């Protein structure tokens, strides 16, 4: 059984690939971004640190995080971005490791959806790394469909490793410029290749 890192830039299709793989074989999925969002929503210590070190107005009167305001700060200020990562990443990593232990004990693979796998120097924590990539134009189109402005998407893309950097350090690559059916076909091929790799 293995811990498999699924990485790639914003709106490249990481979550969609994870779902496609889970439809083929019994795996568990850890979504790093979802974990970080949950910590921002519910962890009192995170709220205190973000308000103190990132943005005093990071939380609204009702206690919910103002994600747009936080995003605007961290993608325009590298120091603020590093501070936010220092707050969230150790907590996300801890939850991931706990789930990995549980999942491997069950005899299943764990898929870890982790956009900043290489950027946070986390590659040693995975048995296999898969990069999901697509053209920047497709990334921008998909991310804008989620409600982000094109300038924000370009800032995020610019803050992440390029496709070529990720691909050079990955075990497998999924190119996701096409249809969902094409992605699902690649997911099936990936499962086959992972099984062959396991048998060696």
Q: What is the pLDDT of residues 55-71, one digit of tens each?
A: 999 999 999 999 999 99
Instruction: Place 126 in a pLDDT band, splitting at 50, 70 and 90.
Output: very high
With respect to residue 74, please indicate whether it lies within any of the assigned structural domains. Answer: no
Q: How is residue 124 annotated by DSSP? A: G
Per cent of the chain over pLDDT 90 is 84
Predicted TM-score of the model (pTM):
0.93
Both tokens assigned to 195: 């099984």
In a domain, 117, yes or no: yes
Quick one: which of 191, 199, 154 has its CA closest to 174?
191
Residue 109 lies in a domain: yes
What pLDDT was estimated at residue 22? Answer: 96
Residues 165-177 as b or e (16 or more Cβ within 10 Å = b): ebeeebbbbbbbe
Residue 63 domain flag = no
**Residue 80 domain-assigned (yes or no):** no
Instruction: Tally the domains of the chain.
Output: 1
Q: What is the CATH number for 122?
A: 3.40.50.300
Confidence band (pLDDT; 50, 70, 90) for 76? confident
The yes-or-no verdict on residue 3 having pLDDT over 80 is yes
**Which residues does 99 contact at the CB level (< 8 Å), separation at least 6?**
28, 30, 110
Contacts of residue 164, defined as CB under 8 A and 6 or more positions apart, other chains included, come to: none
For residue 76, the 8-state DSSP code is T
- Please tell me the least confidently modeled range out of 12-21, 76-85, 157-166, 191-200: 191-200
Comparing 87 with 198, which gets the higher pLDDT? 87
Determine, yes or no, domain membership for 102: yes
**pLDDT at position 85 over 80:** yes
The domain containing residue 126 runs over which residues? 3-40+90-199
Angle at 171 between CA 38 and CA 106, to 5 degrees: 55
pLDDT band for position 200 (50/70/90)? Answer: low
- 């150790």: which residue's tokens? 90
The answer to the question of residue 85 being in a domain is no
3-state secondary structure of 92: helix
How much is the pLDDT for 185? 97
Average of pLDDT values for 32-57?
A: 96
Would you say residue 49 lies in a domain?
Answer: no
Instruction: Return mean pLDDT, the chain.
Output: 94
């Amino acid at each position: 059984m293995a811990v498999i890192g699924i990485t790639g830039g914003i709106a490249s299709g990481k979550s969609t690939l994870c779902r496609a793989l889970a439809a083929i074989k019994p795996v568990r999925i850890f979504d790093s971004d979802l974990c970080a969002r949950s910590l921002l929503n519910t962890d009192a210590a995170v709220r205190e640190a973000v308000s103190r070190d990132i943005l005093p107005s990071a939380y609204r009167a009702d206690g919910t995080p103002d994600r747009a305001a936080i995003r605007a700060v961290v993608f325009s200020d590298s120091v603020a971005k590093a501070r936010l990562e220092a707050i969230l990443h150790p907590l996300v990593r801890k939850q991931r490791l706990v789930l990995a232990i549980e999942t491997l004990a069950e005899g299943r693979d764990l898929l870890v959806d982790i956009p900043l796998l290489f950027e946070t120097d986390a590659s040693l924590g995975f048995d296999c790394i898969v990069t999901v990539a697509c053209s920047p134009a497709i990334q921008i189109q998909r991310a804008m469909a989620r409600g982000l402005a094109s300038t924000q998407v370009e800032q995020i893309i610019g803050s992440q490793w390029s496709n070529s950097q990720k691909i050079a350090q990955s075990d497998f690559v999924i190119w996701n410029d096409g249809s969902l059916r094409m992605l699902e076909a690649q997911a099936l091929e990936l499962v086959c290749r992972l099984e062959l790799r396991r048998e060696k």
